[in-house]
Structure 1
Amino acid sequence: MLEIIRLILCLAVTSIIGWCVLSLILYKERKPLFEEIALSYGLGMGVITLEAMLFWFVNLKPTLFNILLPWIIIFPIIIFIKPKRQGVSLSVRVRERLHLFDIFLLSGIAIEVFYSFFRALIKPLESYDGIAIYAVRAKVFYEAGGIPQDFFNVITKLFPNSSYPPLLPISESWIYAFMGNFNDLLVKIIFPLYFIAILVVFYFALKELFGRRSALIFTFILAAIPQFNKFSSIGYADFILTFYFTAGFLYLFNWMRTRRVRYLILSAVLLGLSCWTKTEGWALFLACAFILFLFVSLNLKGERKGYLKLILFISAVLVIGLPWVHIVDTVQLENEAYGSGTFGLNRLFTAFLNLDRCPRIAYEFQKQFFGPKKWNIIWIIFLALFALNLKKAFKGEMKYITLLLLFIIAGYGSVYLLMPLKESEPINIYISTSLSRLFIHFTPLCVYWVASVCKKRGYLEI
């Protein structure tokens, strides 16, 4: 019982720190309460892990007091300057009264959330990556009272994929520190909480554009995707990356519509945290940066401020992500799948020598697109709508959503051309074990694209 109380306290403190960061970015603007809570959880975990890394750089112990000290000062200041949340009037409550279909959708989402928690908390960490890459590192951090100074030079090289950013293991060690012991069961609560956070942020983004009913429909569609739900409970960092990228692109599109700089900054922070979560976060960020460049060039012609905002966006992401890149480059940490030289110019040239892999790559992609066992029929719907709305998909604001999705799919596919292989080693070994995980990263973007097309074409007049 005491462990559970400590866990609740840990999650509350984490969310308060995240709320402080969110408030510093949004200043006096208020978002819906549940959206703020969802963002606060993700931002809190990200900022706490960055703090722990900063303490390692300056050779300080990341004790609970040291981590909490700046926020103990900042929190009351924000409480003082932040405007009070306005209550919801009775007329609004009546007008937004739930109908039977809305209750059905909410019940379906609640069942999926409950199932995610059930699968996460019914047994301790057991997946290979969840233990070998993340949990073991988390235990080292907890036992050492922080990140040992020789960890990246010596210790981490004993584990597979030493170049993976340490956001997840630091997050797990943060929970261990609050609970006071290793609890490989309760620590998994990290993942279904990210699941809730994605659904909440996704719902409010859709609600603002399309209304409550459509937002509920597509949030339910996202929550009910088997592979998406599965990865919200097994201890992989892919789902955490999906949260940061999803929230990041949603706020980037929000900035494109409103031009409010605070949304651009929030998007940059979230995408920076995606780079701090997994290496693939850099590919997702680069795709977003290109879309932003395209938007500035086409919609803000001749406006110097537009390019300054692009520079601000890129700079904010680099401030968060580059310190880890520096460590990886300095101590020569390895990624077993991609290899240290995967993205060098020499690898780009040799990709042309690997074009014989294309049929196998295409075959594995079609297995995902037409695999209802993992994805229901969301990718089949996407392909059908894309074929029926080819011209409209590249017009107006839809073109940015379409291009972002296509760039990411193409980029992830091209990685398999760049991947170094041993002689006579088949590429399908790597594709079959990793592609479904990569698809998780941009599945919310796919559902968002489908929702946008359906509403613009009037397919859901409800």
Structure 2
Amino acid sequence: MNLIGAIRLILGLTVTTAVGWLFVKIISLGEKRPFLEEKALGYGLGIAILSLSFIDFWFLGLKPTFIYILLPWIVVFILLIITKRITLFRTQATRYDAEGPITFLEKFLLFGISVEVIHSFFKALVKPIEAFDSVAMYAIRAKVFFEAGGIPADFFKTITKAFPNSGHPPMIPLAEAWIYTIMGGLNDLLVKIIFPLFFVSLIIIFYFALRGFLNRKAALIFTFILATIPQLNHYASIGYADFALTFYFTAGFIYLFKWMRGKIKSDLFISAISLAFACWVKLEGWALFLCCALIFILFIMLEFRKREGFIRLITFLLIVLILASPWLFIVKSAGLENEVYKFESIGANRFISSFTNLDRLPRILYEFQKQFFGPKKWNIVWIIFMALFILNIKTVFRGELKYPTLLLILVIAAYGYSYLLIPLKPGEPINWNVGSTLSRLFIHFTPLAVYWIACVCHKKGYLEN
């Protein structure tokens, strides 16, 4: 890659983050957030907004050039500057700034987190896309989009059906196509930069979520625990969609819980938009959204039984459905399918027949315990989780703590149930399917588990000393 290409990539990623940052400013309704939190959200939302712009142009039958994609955001930027809704060089002071000088332990934790971040970039950029799903499901589609100058008119009707899982949401291929567009050419090494950037963004929003109820040292400890989980670092570098889904789900539940505590509208908007983007990354995003929706409904029924609460619930659901449903329309109209879940044939009979598949349970439970007791991939995060759960069985279902507890249980149960729902050929064992996919699924909700551990430790006062 020449110098011009590198400059284009840096400028393009800066513009991508700036677009997401502008979007955060628009929906924040004057609410001030820490500088780094805004930029981390900006990257995650920006890459989704700009890559999914390809879908908008496809619906309109237009070619998505670099200028056409950015033009609306240039106008928005100018308007926000004129109306003084944003400032370019002044950062917002927060209560997080007034905790005194950084200690040796905090420096050590920051150093460890930085090493993990650098390691994820190194692993991502040292070799090109090579994992099977990364190539077959994402990279090839991305190159089709780039070479065609957008999504070909017949892509969903014919072309995509030549690839595995034609019903797989297209956000990651579109994001890679956006990076190719930025660079002005194909590059199987640098296109992977989007994944460690998701890793950095995840760490930042996770840290600031913890700072909502923990001091700086405690928040850094749990952020360090998350950043050093081997499986997360691995998937932040190999080009799979799972880490992007992890980012959007984590943002979704973090800002949902923030809204539950503070009732700030913009937190609810960010949560809903993040979960909508999760649905564009992988089909599992819909399951994660439904789990969050159930927790939201429970919260409204128990804590917020006012007309305003139901309005917020309806708003939350509508935002997700309006933003995510165009993909369902494309899947239905083009007759796309998913080779694993086969959702095109799902119905009442599938749900009923899933209960005839209970003979799969021993193998499913066996694979789950391998993850729970697998320090090679997860350090001892899940062992800590189980110990805290058993020792505090009553506490975790009381007060605010019951909501992350129930969300984690719902997600684990939903993923476990999905293996009962999957249709198999006669005589085909469930072993291979569970064994080859469960460790990936665990990535999606591991940040939730670490967040839950932090909440329990805070509630029980384990962090006071």
TM-score normalized by structure 1?
Answer: 0.97
1:97 shift after superposition? 1.1
1:152 aligns with 2:156: yes
1:193 aligns with 2:197: yes
Q: Which residue of 1 aligns with 2:68?
A: 66
Q: Which residue of 1 aligns with 2:131?
A: 127
Code of the residue aligned with 1:41 in structure 2: it is Y
Distance 2:313 2:92 in 1: 37
1:372 aligns with 2:390: no
Residues 35 and 92, structure 2, Cα contact 8 Å, conserved in 1: no
Mapping of residues 23-422 of structure 1, within 5 Å: 23-80=25-82, 81-82=84-85, 84=87, 85-86=90-91, 95-301=99-305, 303-341=306-344, 343-422=346-425
Q: Which residue of 1 aligns with 2:450?
A: 447
Code of the residue aligned with 1:178 in structure 2: it is I
Code of the residue aligned with 2:36 in structure 1: it is F
Code of the residue aligned with 2:220 in structure 1: it is L
Code of the residue aligned with 1:155 in structure 2: it is I
- Name the % identity: 56
Residues 61 and 153, structure 2, Cα contact 8 Å, conserved in 1: yes
Q: Which residue of 2 aligns with 1:456?
A: 459
- Which one is further off, 144-153 or 342-351? 342-351
1:2 aligns with 2:13: no
1:95 shift after superposition? 4.0
Distance 1:275 1:220 in 2: 28
1:92 shift after superposition? 8.4
Q: Tell me the alpha carbon deviations over residues 403-439 of structure 1, each in whole angstroms, 9 at most, x when there is no partner.
A: 0000000000000000000011000110011000000
Q: Tell me the alpha carbon deviations over residues 225-268 of structure 1, each in whole angstroms, 9 at most, x when there is no partner.
A: 00011000000000001001101110000000011111111110
Distance 1:363 1:9 in 2: 48
Residues 172 and 241, structure 2, Cα contact 8 Å, conserved in 1: yes
Q: Which residue of 2 aligns with 1:12?
A: 14
Distance 1:246 1:261 in 2: 18
1:50 shift after superposition? 2.2
1:459 shift after superposition? 1.3
> Any stretches of 5+ residues in structure 1 without a counterpart?
none
1:343 shift after superposition? 4.0
Residues 227 and 374, structure 1, Cα contact 8 Å, conserved in 2: yes
1:27 shift after superposition? 2.5
1:429 aligns with 2:432: yes
Q: Tell me the alpha carbon deviations over residues 2-29 of structure 1, each in whole angstroms, 9 at most, x when there is no partner.
A: 1111100110110111111111100322
TM-score normalized by structure 2?
Answer: 0.97
Describe the SS at the equivalent of 2:237. Answer: coil
Distance 1:184 1:92 in 2: 40
1:49 shift after superposition? 2.0
Residues 32 and 92, structure 2, Cα contact 8 Å, conserved in 1: no
> Aligned pair in 2 of structure 1 residues 92, 318: CA closer, same or farther (>3 Å)?
closer
Distance 1:203 1:291 in 2: 23
- Which one is further off, 446-455 or 78-87? 78-87
- Which one is further off, 184-193 or 22-31? 22-31
Q: Tell me the alpha carbon deviations over residues 335-358 of structure 1, each in whole angstroms, 9 at most, x when there is no partner.
A: 111113464211100011101101
1:35 shift after superposition? 0.5
> Any stretches of 5+ residues in structure 2 without a counterpart?
none
Distance 2:169 2:183 in 1: 24
Describe the SS at the equivalent of 2:166. Answer: coil
Residues 195 and 243, structure 2, Cα contact 8 Å, conserved in 1: yes
Distance 1:342 1:430 in 2: 19
Distance 2:273 2:107 in 1: 35
Describe the SS at the equivalent of 2:168. Answer: coil
Distance 1:99 1:59 in 2: 57
- Which one is further off, 327-336 or 437-446? 327-336
Residues 341 and 347, structure 1, Cα contact 8 Å, conserved in 2: no
Residues 242 and 440, structure 1, Cα contact 8 Å, conserved in 2: yes
Distance 2:239 2:331 in 1: 23
Distance 1:383 1:87 in 2: 39
The count of aligned residue pairs is: 460
Q: RMSD of aligned C-alpha atoms? A: 1.4
Residues 203 and 219, structure 1, Cα contact 8 Å, conserved in 2: yes
- Which one is further off, 70-79 or 31-40? 70-79
1:181 shift after superposition? 1.0
Residues 276 and 320, structure 1, Cα contact 8 Å, conserved in 2: no
Residues 342 and 419, structure 1, Cα contact 8 Å, conserved in 2: no
Residues 401 and 449, structure 1, Cα contact 8 Å, conserved in 2: yes
Q: Tell me the alpha carbon deviations over residues 359-413 of structure 1, each in whole angstroms, 9 at most, x when there is no partner.
A: 1100000000000011011001000100000000000010000000000000000
Code of the residue aligned with 2:393 in structure 1: it is L
Distance 2:298 2:98 in 1: 43
> Aligned pair in 2 of structure 1 residues 367, 69: CA closer, same or farther (>3 Å)?
same
Q: Tell me the alpha carbon deviations over residues 105-162 of structure 1, each in whole angstroms, 9 at most, x when there is no partner.
A: 0000000001100100110100000010000000000000000010000000000011
